[in-house]
Amino acid sequence: MSRSLTALSGAALAEVQPGRMTAPRSPSGWPALVLNADFRPLSYYPLSIWPWQDVVKAVWQDRVDVVSVYDKVVRSPSMEFQLPSVVSLKTYIDQDRSPAFTRFNVFLRDGFTCQYCGQAGELTFDHVVPRSHGGRTTWENIVAACPPCNLRKGGRTPVQAGMPIRHAPRRPNSWQLQDAGRRFPPDYLHNSWLDYLYWDIELEP
C-alpha cells in the first residue's frame, strides 16, 4: 500500500509537508478492505486494505471469509475466482496496541486543527518545547500548527510566546485514534466498504 505512513524521525519532521485531505477515489488494483473477526476494519489509519493477490492467498489458506466481491473475475486454467472487495479474518486480532507515531496519526489525534488557534486547513508540525531548548520529537512534544502560528511562535515555548495549547499533547491509544479516524473519510472508498466504515453514522439514502 503506497500511502502507508512512515514513522517520523526528527530530521524528517523538519520538512513535513502541510497535510491535506484528498477527495475519495475509486480503489485501483482491486484491493480488499480487511475486517477483524468482529467486522470492524483492522485499522482506520492507515485503512486496512490488502492487494488482491494477498487476499486470494488468504482465502485459499482459509484465513478469511469473503464478505463482499467486485465484479472482477480472475481465471486460472482450472478455476474462476471473483475478487473479494471485503474480507473478514476468521481469528480475532487483539487491537490493544500502541499507534504508530506517524505524521498522519499526529494530525488525526489533533483533529486536523492547529493546536494554537484552532484553525483547520493547511497544517505543519510544531515542537512545543523547541528543539533548541532540548525538545524532542515525540507524541508529547509535537502538535499540529498552522503556518502563521508556527511562524509566530518561532523558537519559543508556549509560555514564552503567550500561545497556550488547546489540548496538551499525549500519546493516544489505538481506540482513541480509531475514534478520531471515524470522523474523517479515508482515501480509498469502494461502495461495499462503506457499511463497515460508517456503521455509527447515518448513511445517505
- By CB atoms closer than 10 A (0-12, 13-18, 19+), residue 15 is exposed
Provide the 3-class DSSP secondary structure of residue 107: helix
Nearer to Zn ion, 108 or 114 (CB): 114
Q: Is 146 in the site for Zn ion (CB under 5 A)?
A: yes
Pairing of strands 32-35, 49-50: antiparallel
**Cα 137 to Cα 156: distance, rounded to the nearest angstrom:** 16
Binder of Zn ion out of 128, 142, 149, 180 (CB under 5 A)? 149
Q: Is 128 in the site for Zn ion (CB under 5 A)?
A: no
- Residue numbers 93-112 binding Zn ion by CB under 5 A: none
Residue 130, Cα to own-chain centre: how many angstroms? 26
Binder of Zn ion out of 8, 34, 67, 114 (CB under 5 A)? 114
Q: Is 7 in the site for Zn ion (CB under 5 A)?
A: no
Residues near Zn ion (CB under 5 A), total: 5
Stretch that binds Zn ion, among 64-72, 83-91, 113-121, 173-181 (CB under 5 A): 113-121
Q: Is 34 in the site for Zn ion (CB under 5 A)?
A: no
x-marked contacts with Zn ion along 161-180 as a string, rule CB under 5 A: --------------------
Buried residues in 146-184 as b, exposed as e (16+ CB within 10 A)? beebbeebeeeebeeeebeeeeebeebebeebbebbeee
Binder of Zn ion out of 12, 14, 21, 117 (CB under 5 A)? 117
Residue 156, Cα to own-chain centre: how many angstroms? 30
The site for Zn ion (CB under 5 A) is made up of 114, 116-117, 146, 149
